[in-house]
Amino acid sequence: MNRTRVVVLGAGIVGAACARELALAGFDVVVVDRGRPAGGTTSHGEGNILVSDKGPGAELELAKLSTALWPQVVAEIADEDARAASSIEYDPKGGIVVATTDDGAVALAAFAASQPGVRAEPLSPKELADAEPALTREVTAAFHYPEDAQVQPAGAALALLGSALRHGARPRFDTEVVGATVHNGRITGVRVPGEVIEADVVVNAAGPWAGQVSARLGAPIAVRPRRGEVLVTTPMPGVVRHKVYDADYVGAVGADSGELQTSAVVESTWGGTVLIGSSRRRVGFDDTIRPEVLSAIAVKALRLFPSLADVAIMRAYGGFRPYVDDHLPVLGEDPRLGNLWHATGHEGAGIGLSVGTARLLRELLTGTEPAMPVDEFTVDRGAVVAA
C-alpha cells in the first residue's frame, strides 16, 4: 500500500472528491478545513453538471470526463452506502438552452456546432413546448443537451467525503492553515494552530480561498472570489422539467468584467423547489445580499417562465466562486514549491468538474497517463502565478 501522506486543504466538493480518489488509490489522506464539510462555496451553488455551457477546449474535455464519471461514482458510493448515494440526488435530466432574439439564435446554433463530442439536439417549437410547457413561446432557437445533469451540492460533497473516510481518510475540521514547513524547496507540512501536520504532498483545494491559502503557504496563485446569487421558490413540482437557461448565460460566465452579469437560469430540484439564477460579480468577500441583484435575476427568469410571476420566493442565497482571469481550472504541481499541488479555479463549474479533477489528480500523482491532456490547467501560466 502507498502510505504517502497527502494533506488535502478544503472539504468542499473538489477537496472531498480529491480525498476520495486518493484514498481509493491507497494514499494516507488527511482532509483539513477551517470550518465544516461543504460549508463554503459548495453549499451555495446549484449543483450543475454541464457540458452545454462550455466551448471547445480543455474545460469542455474535463466536463465530458466528469459527466461520464458521475454515474460511476454514484454507483460506487451506492455499493458502500445506499443512503449516502441517494443524498447526492443525481439527476441526469438534461438541459435546454434557448435564444430569444434572431442574433441569439445564430450565435446559439454556432456555439452548439462548435462543441466536439457533445450531443446538442435542435428542438422545434412543438418539441420545446412538449419538453417545457411553461416556457415562453417567444423563443427563436432551442437546443436540448441530454448529457447535462444535476446533483444536490452539499449532499454530493458529504457523500464523496464519507466514501473517502470509509477508505481511510481522516478529517481535521475547524482547523485553519496558517503556514507551511519547507525543506530544500519542497513543502513538508502545513502549520495549524499549535502544531504542524506533516505531509509528503499538499493539495490546495480551498476554492475561492485558494489564493489566500496559497499565499500563506508561500506560493501565491491568482484565484479570487466571484460572487453569484440564487433565488429559491416554494415547491412547485413538475413546472420546470430540465435545466433551462438563456444563451446569454455562456457569455456571463466567460465575461472578464467585474461588473454585474446576469442571465436567466431556471431549474427544479428533487424537492420541487425551483432555483432561479444567475449572477456573476466581483466584490471580494463581501457577502451582502443585494436586492437589486436578485431583482435583475428575477426579471430575466420571468421572460423565460412568465408563470413564475405569482410564485412565492422562499429564500435567496449567494456564494463565492473561485475565479481565474483566463476562466480555466488550476490543476497541477506548483513550480515554485515542490509537492504543493493546486486543484481550484473552477468558478461556477466546480460541482460538475469535481470528480474529473479528482481523477486527473490521482493519475498525475500515481504516474498514470492522464485521461485527458492537462497542459492548459498548469500552475505556471500567466493568469495563475501571482506577482
Q: Summarize pLDDT for 73-82 with one digit per residue, the tens.
A: 999 999 999 9
Could you give the CA distance from residue 15 to residue 155 in angstroms, rounded to a whole number? Answer: 14
Return the pLDDT at 252.
Answer: 46
| pLDDT, tens only, 271-308 | 999 999 888 899 999 999 899 999 999 999 999 999 99
| pLDDT, tens only, 151-195 | 999 999 999 999 999 999 999 999 999 999 999 999 999 999 999
Return the pLDDT at 258.
Answer: 62
Asked whether the beta carbons of 268 and 239 are under 8 A apart, the reply is yes
Which grid coordinates are listed for 71?
Answer: 454515474
CATH architecture of the region 5-83+152-223+326-377: 3-Layer(bba) Sandwich (3.50)
Which grid coordinates are listed for 382?
Answer: 500567466
Where in the chain are the domains? 5-83+152-223+326-377, 95-146+224-323
Return the pLDDT at 63.
Answer: 98
Return the pLDDT at 118.
Answer: 98
Asked whether the beta carbons of 248 and 263 are under 8 A apart, the reply is yes
Q: What's the average model confidence in pLDDT over 330-349?
A: 97
Return the pLDDT at 347.
Answer: 94
Return the pLDDT at 256.
Answer: 61
Return the pLDDT at 263.
Answer: 85
Say how many C-beta atoms besides its own lie within 10 A of residue 178's C-beta. Answer: 14
Q: What are 332's strand-pairing partners?
A: 342
**Residue 373's closest CA among 60, 37, 33, 42?**
60
Phi, psi of 375 (to 5 degrees): -60, -35
Instruction: Say yes or no to pLDDT of 11 above 90.
Output: yes
Lowest mean pLDDT among 6-10, 25-29, 42-46, 197-201: 42-46
Topology given in CATH for the domain delimited by 95-146+224-323:
D-Amino Acid Oxidase; Chain A, domain 2 (3.30.9)
Could you give the CA distance from residue 64 to residue 102 in angstroms, rounded to a whole number? Answer: 29
| pLDDT, tens only, 210-258 | 999 999 999 999 999 999 999 999 999 999 999 999 987 664 455 565 6
Pairing of strands 95-99, 141-145: antiparallel
Asked whether the beta carbons of 307 and 134 are under 8 A apart, the reply is yes
Q: Please give the helix or strand (H or E) that residue 58 lies within, else none.
A: helix 58-80
Return the pLDDT at 248.
Answer: 73
Return the pLDDT at 129.
Answer: 98
- Per the listing, cell 500523482 goes with 365
Return the pLDDT at 262.
Answer: 85
Return the pLDDT at 225.
Answer: 96
Could you give the CA distance from residue 226 to residue 208 in angstroms, rounded to a whole number? Answer: 8
Q: Assign residue 237 a region: left if phi > 0, alpha if psi is -120 to 50, beta otherwise?
A: beta
| Average pLDDT in the chain | 95
Return the pLDDT at 173.
Answer: 97
Instruction: Say yes or no to pLDDT of 66 above 50.
Output: yes
Q: What's the average model confidence in pLDDT over 256-265?
A: 77
pTM: 0.95
